[in-house]
């Protein structure tokens, strides 16, 4: 059982380049999330999708777009990468989005460096 | 304000000792307080969680103490082991009407020494 799978694991981009981070879950969860993790700042929510067909902004959405491709997949796109987007990106999923009875399951992250 | 303040930033404990990590919040709408554990190169994983209607929850060596009036909660790790060395995040959740959002503390790096 793979859980939440993120690809790629590592990526180096030059300023201005674009890329898409992929996330897939095999737990039949309804809700999916994208977080970024930076030293001393914890994890901050970028975007989330409460259910297939819906997406909503989190705390730090600027510079990002998302697509909930189907129930399994939720991608994060950087249209024009900036050094400030150097971070570790985590995808997570929850069965119902009611976190007290359906906790978040995280992938192992994508480590992105923008030079 | 959707913030959770976590301290200390780092912690070194001797094997067998007690590790204590503290968090504080302001928003009384928070209704769920989980702790996540993260090992290097891995994603965070749920460790233990509490709802605000109880003051303490214990699972093995891990205990959450919750003080609703002070708006503080803490993680206690009893008999700390080298395998507990990891980064710990407190978090707080609130209901948006369409599901819960989670806001995280800034993390505590715990090192348990032999």
Q: Where are the domains of chain B?
A: 4-113
Tens of pLDDT, residue by residue over B79-107, are 999 999 999 999 999 887 777 888 999 99
Tens of pLDDT, residue by residue over A29-81, are 999 999 999 988 899 999 999 999 999 999 999 999 999 989 999 999 999 99
- The closest of B19, B5, B16 to B73, measured between CA atoms, is B5
Q: Is the torsion defined by CA of A5, A96, B25, B90 positive or negative?
A: negative
B102 at the A interface (CB within 8 A)? yes
Q: Which residues pair with A49 in a beta bridge?
A: A32
Q: Do A103 and B98 touch (CB under 8 A)?
A: no
Tens of pLDDT, residue by residue over B16-65, are 999 999 999 999 999 999 999 999 999 999 999 999 999 999 999 999 99
Predicted local confidence at residue B20, as pLDDT: 98
Please state, in angstroms and rounded to a whole number, the distance separating the CA atoms of residues B11 and A102: 30
Which of A59, A90, A97 lies nearest to residue B100, judging by beta carbons?
Answer: A97
CA distance A17 to chain B (A): 25
Percentage of chain A modeled with pLDDT above 70: 99
* pLDDT of A104 strictly over 60: yes
Predicted local confidence at residue A61, as pLDDT: 97
- The closest of B4, B88, B51 to A59, measured between CA atoms, is B4
CATH T-level topology, domain B4-113 = Immunoglobulin-like (2.60.40)
A44 at the B interface (CB within 8 A)? yes
pLDDT, averaged across chain A: 94
CB neighbours of residue B68 within 10 Å: 12
Which of A41, A54, A56 lies nearest to residue B106, judging by beta carbons?
Answer: A41
Predicted local confidence at residue B35, as pLDDT: 97
Predicted local confidence at residue B101, as pLDDT: 85
Please state, in angstroms and rounded to a whole number, the distance separating the CA atoms of residues B102 and A42: 12
The backbone region for A28, taken as left when phi is positive above 0, alpha when psi lies in -120 to 50, beta otherwise, is: left
Please state, in angstroms and rounded to a whole number, the distance separating the CA atoms of residues A101 and A53: 23
Predicted local confidence at residue A99, as pLDDT: 80
User: Binning pLDDT at 50, 70 and 90, where does residue A1 land?
Assistant: low
CA distance B82 to chain A (A): 22
Contact present, A6 and A86 (Cβ < 8 Å): no
């Amino acid at each position: 059982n793979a859980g939440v799978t993120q690809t790629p694991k590592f990526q180096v981009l030059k300023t201005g380049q674009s890329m898409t981070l992929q996330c897939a879950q095999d737990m039949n969860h309804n809700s999916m999330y994208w977080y970024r993790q930076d030293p001393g700042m914890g994890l901050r929510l970028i975007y989330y999708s409460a259910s297939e067909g819906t997406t909503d902004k989190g705390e730090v959405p600027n510079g990002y777009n998302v697509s909930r491709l189907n129930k399994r997949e939720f991608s994060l796109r950087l249209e024009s990468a900036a050094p400030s987007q150097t971070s570790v990106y985590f995808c997570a999923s929850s069965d119902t989005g009611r976190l007290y009875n359906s906790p978040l399951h995280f992938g192992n992250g994508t480590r992105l460096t923008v030079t | 304000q959707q913030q959770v303040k976590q301290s200390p930033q780092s912690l070194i404990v001797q094997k067998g000792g007690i590790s204590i990590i503290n968090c504080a919040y302001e928003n009384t709408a928070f209704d769920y307080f989980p702790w996540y554990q993260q090992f290097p190169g891995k994603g965070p994983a749920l460790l233990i969680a509490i709802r605000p209607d109880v003051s303490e929850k214990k699972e093995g060596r891990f205990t959450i103490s919750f003080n609703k009036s002070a708006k503080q909660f803490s993680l206690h790790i009893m008999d700390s082991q080298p395998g507990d060395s990891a980064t710990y995040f407190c978090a707080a959740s609130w209901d948006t009407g369409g599901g819960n959002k989670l806001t995280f503390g800034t993390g505590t790096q715990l090192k348990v020494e032999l």
